[in-house]
Structure 1
Amino acid sequence: MVALAPAVVPRRRRALGGGRLAPYLFVAPFVVVFLLFMVAPIVIAVSNAMYSSRSSGLGFGGAETVFVGLQNYATALRDGDFLFGFARVALYGLVQVPVMMLIAAGLALLFDSALVRARRFFQFAVFLPYAVPGVIAALLWGFFYQPSVSPLVQALQGLGVDADLLAPGTVLWSVANVSVWSNAGINMIILFSALQSLPRDTFEAARLDGAGELRMALSLKLPMIAPAVLLTTLSTVIGTLQLFNEPQVLQSITPHIASDWTPNMAIYAVSTLGGDTRLGSAMAVLLGLVTLVVSLVLVRVTNSSSREGL
């Protein structure tokens, strides 16, 4: 009999522990980036909010850092303008989020149907505003909102409508219009991609049973892409709570947007303009907690509705 030589394990494979370390090496870059740019800023903000800078002596000895515990959080919660910013974005979100999702879902369902010609062109046209930076989009719409130069306002005035799109009662919805115009396209793309992954034979069977496009959209397509709808809704809600670019830019052309108009603007005003980074960190942590709670509640409500529908 001929003895078989033992299998030779490649040196590279032995060096990696038989391949057991390979997955960790691939995951390591993500873990490092996640810890540096996601976890570390949160830890630093929480730690920073526990301290305060106070002048020592008669003010000639500079400032010293002292531990104050939850005092900065208490100061933030006593700030009426900061808390009213949450109420303002809540009202903003109650209108903007449903409108955004209705437009995005409606366009995605329309492009997925057989009713649209030149689909690629219209998809590109809807998605194009998302490629415009938020600051540029706010500047563009700011031009359309100024009564002295806006062709939109002048056209409305020509029809006998006295429109002031930057008035105290309308400026919130003018900001919402900029956000919807900028972000509806990306949400439409996400929902349309989810629709394209659905099995086509299900819809063919529904057509043979006499179901129209509207019936299939409401009874089949939307329930089947519920995870994608939840994803886009969550991202829209989080973006609403973090509203900053649009009102910050429009603030320069209207006196009806204060420096603390939204929670994010209040954080910027306190930490950058006011120079109190400790209080700004406390405000940022509170904003993060509110965002987390709202997201968890939305996910729980959505999951409960899905289980009841089964």
Structure 2
Amino acid sequence: MTSRTARQSYGVKSAPYGFLLPAGILFTLFFALPIGYALWLSLHKVEVKGLGLGKNARSEAWAGLANYADALTDSELLNGALRILGYGAIVVPVMLGLALLFALLLDADRVRWTPFTRLAIFLPYAIPGVVAALLWGFLYLPDVSPFFFVLDKLGLPQPDLLDGGPLYGAMSNIAIWGGTGFNMIVIYTSLRAIPAEVHEAAKLDGCSQLQIALRIKIPMVAPSLVLTAFFSIIATLQVFNEPTTLKPLTNALSTTWSPLMQVYQDAFVKGDIYSAAATAVIIAVVTLVLSFGFLRAANSRNRQEEAR
């Protein structure tokens, strides 16, 4: 083999790595390094000498797992986790149920104006989360909301949507309103990929539209349902925009209502980036474990159904 042929062979073999190099650099700079830095911060703390006023009075010191122990024993963090579980118990099933219902309706034969309806359902997802939270927040305020004006004119009671139990429903409504369209598009795309021959065979067998939906369409789009549930669980565990934006409108929301809000308070209000990093790592690990467990359970159920 000549040297020229060897260089050409080497160039062909190394070409895939050249294409992967930009993605690898971006992954390292904006994903791997921040994670590594957060892990490093979580294992350190600030050590104060004397009154803490001198030039070298504050220094970083090794803390080990002390920050993790403090975070795991913090009652406010645990209460925030429980609040998120209650919030997720409302958001995830309702949002996925509506997304599946809308996708099935749009895929029905008798539906008209499908492109317009699909766009109208998806459009709330295009609105930034902060803008959506502000919009709904003012609609929840009795003094400026047109809904409360109508209720007042009709002599009907005006519930306080930003306090107590209704607060969970009010925040869940924001997430459901904004996320249903995205999940609907994912499920609807899977429905459109079902071969037309399957529909025709079901109709020849005398199946109604409801039977086709329950026995054919939903089982065939199960992977899309698992995918949308996976993303919904992650988004629920990381909720931040809705409670943070609604916080100035009500006293029922604390500054640590959700775990991510506590991370923000520790890092940017208290200035304790080390505790914030430990809490962020815990949230990431819990999110990973729950997501992985959900995927394992879903895959196990699919294998059992295929075995039957």
TM-score (normalizing by structure 1): 0.93
Q: Contact between 1:104 and 1:184, CA under 8 Å: does it hold in 2?
A: yes
Instruction: Confirm or deny that 1:282 pairs with 2:291.
Output: no
Q: Contact between 1:107 and 1:188, CA under 8 Å: does it hold in 2?
A: yes
Q: Deviations over 1:108-135 (max 9, x none)?
A: 1111111210000001101111111101
Letter of the 1:243 partner, please give it.
V
Query: 2:123 & 2:74 partners in 1: Cα distance?
Result: 40
Deviation, 1:303, is 1.3
For 1:120, the equivalent position in structure 2 comes to 115
For 1:91, the equivalent position in structure 2 comes to 86
What pairs with 1:96-115 in structure 2 (closer than 5 Å)? Answer: 96-115=91-110
User: Aligned in 2, Cα 1:215/1:60: closer, same or farther, shift over 3 Å?
Assistant: same
User: Aligned in 2, Cα 1:172/1:16: closer, same or farther, shift over 3 Å?
Assistant: farther
Q: For 2:184, which of 172, 185, 188 is the aligned residue?
A: 188
Deviation, 1:16, is 6.2
Q: Deviations over 1:275-294 (max 9, x none)?
A: 00000000000000110111
What pairs with 1:228-239 in structure 2 (closer than 5 Å)? Answer: 228-239=224-235
Q: For 1:220, which of 201, 216, 223 is the aligned residue?
A: 216
Q: For 1:298, which of 284, 291, 294 is the aligned residue?
A: 294
For 2:203, the equivalent position in structure 1 comes to 207
Deviation, 1:40, is 1.5
Query: 2:18 & 2:173 partners in 1: Cα distance?
Result: 45
For 1:3, the equivalent position in structure 2 comes to none
Secondary structure of the corresponding residue to residue 13 of structure 2: coil
Which segment drifts farther, 15-24 or 99-108?
15-24
For 1:247, the equivalent position in structure 2 comes to 243
Letter of the 2:103 partner, please give it.
A
Instruction: Confirm or deny that 1:22 pairs with 2:18.
Output: no
Gaps of 5+ in 2: none
Query: 1:41 & 1:33 partners in 2: Cα distance?
Result: 12
Query: 1:187 & 1:271 partners in 2: Cα distance?
Result: 33
> How many residues were matched structurally?
303
Structure 1 or 2: larger helix share? 2
For 1:164, the equivalent position in structure 2 comes to 160
User: Aligned in 2, Cα 1:10/1:237: closer, same or farther, shift over 3 Å?
Assistant: same
Q: Contact between 1:156 and 1:163, CA under 8 Å: does it hold in 2?
A: no
Letter of the 2:202 partner, please give it.
A
For 1:138, the equivalent position in structure 2 comes to 133
User: Aligned in 2, Cα 1:135/1:16: closer, same or farther, shift over 3 Å?
Assistant: farther
Deviation, 1:39, is 1.7
Query: 2:261 & 2:124 partners in 1: Cα distance?
Result: 24
Deviation, 1:299, is 0.7
Query: 1:282 & 1:236 partners in 2: Cα distance?
Result: 24
Deviation, 1:58, is 3.4
Instruction: Confirm or deny that 1:59 pairs with 2:52.
Output: yes
Q: Deviations over 1:221-280 (max 9, x none)?
A: 111111111111011000000000011000010111110000010100111111000000
Query: 1:19 & 1:160 partners in 2: Cα distance?
Result: 75
Q: For 1:149, which of 123, 138, 144 is the aligned residue?
A: 144
Letter of the 1:75 partner, please give it.
D
Deviation, 1:153, is 2.3
Query: 1:107 & 1:10 partners in 2: Cα distance?
Result: 61
For 1:198, the equivalent position in structure 2 comes to 194
Q: Superposition RMSD on alpha carbons, in Å? A: 1.8
Deviation, 1:18, is 4.9
Gaps of 5+ in 1: 1-5
Deviation, 1:152, is 1.4
User: Aligned in 2, Cα 1:10/1:218: closer, same or farther, shift over 3 Å?
Assistant: farther
Query: 2:9 & 2:255 partners in 1: Cα distance?
Result: 56
Structure 1 moving runs of 4+ over 3 Å: 8-11, 13-16
